[in-house]
Amino acid sequence: MVRTLVLGGARSGKSAHAEGLLPGDGPVTYLATARRHPDDADWDARIAAHVDRRPPSWSTVEVPDTASLVGALASARADGPPLLLDDVATWLAGAMDDAGAWASAGVSMVDARARLVGAVAGCAARLVVVSAEVGLGVVPSTRSGRLFRDELGAVNASLAEVCSEVLLLVAGLPLRLR
């Protein structure tokens, strides 16, 4: 089965490009990793903008934690609708929250990464995965920023190993890496 990883920086067009890789006139299951935050109107507006541009034939499944995300990928069928996972960076931030990684230097994300990558590799449906590329900029000045950058880089590299196509969006333009 074809698995595509779409990487890009903030506002690079990665999500819109990933959406365009899937049929706009048929069913698609959108796996949304964002967690809702009470009293964060800006975050709600960003989520709403993503929802508003999806075709009406697409369904959304909220998968804000590792168990629900892995379960959704594992339950997909080859004869079922394609999946769009958007996005790995928001999943990772939540997984790091759940693990207490921000407060403790000894927390490992290896198991969560392995569970996600294994589920992507085993997904029977057509799958497009969106993730942020954060390793091209300035070295973050905080421990949490460096930790997130390093963990996301490791997740992206592991996902690239199991995806048959890898794209990088720069200024809205897709570059085919594989």
Look up tokens 């949490």; give the residue.
Answer: 144
d(CA 88, CA 18): 13
Q: Please, are residues 36 and 47 in contact by the beta-carbon 8 Å criterion?
A: yes
Backbone angles phi, psi at 135, to 5 degrees: -90, 10
Q: Is residue 37 annotated as part of the catalytic site, yes or no?
A: no
Nearest to 92 by CA among 62, 69, 119, 60: 69
Task: Specify the DSSP class assigned to residue 26.
Answer: S
Q: Please, are residues 29 and 84 in contact by the beta-carbon 8 Å criterion?
A: yes
d(CA 10, CA 18): 14
d(CA 43, CA 35): 9
Length of the chain: 178
Of residues 50, 54, 115, 149, which has the active-site annotation? 50
CA atoms within 13 A of residue 129's CA, in its CB half-sphere = 31
Residues serving a catalytic function are: 50
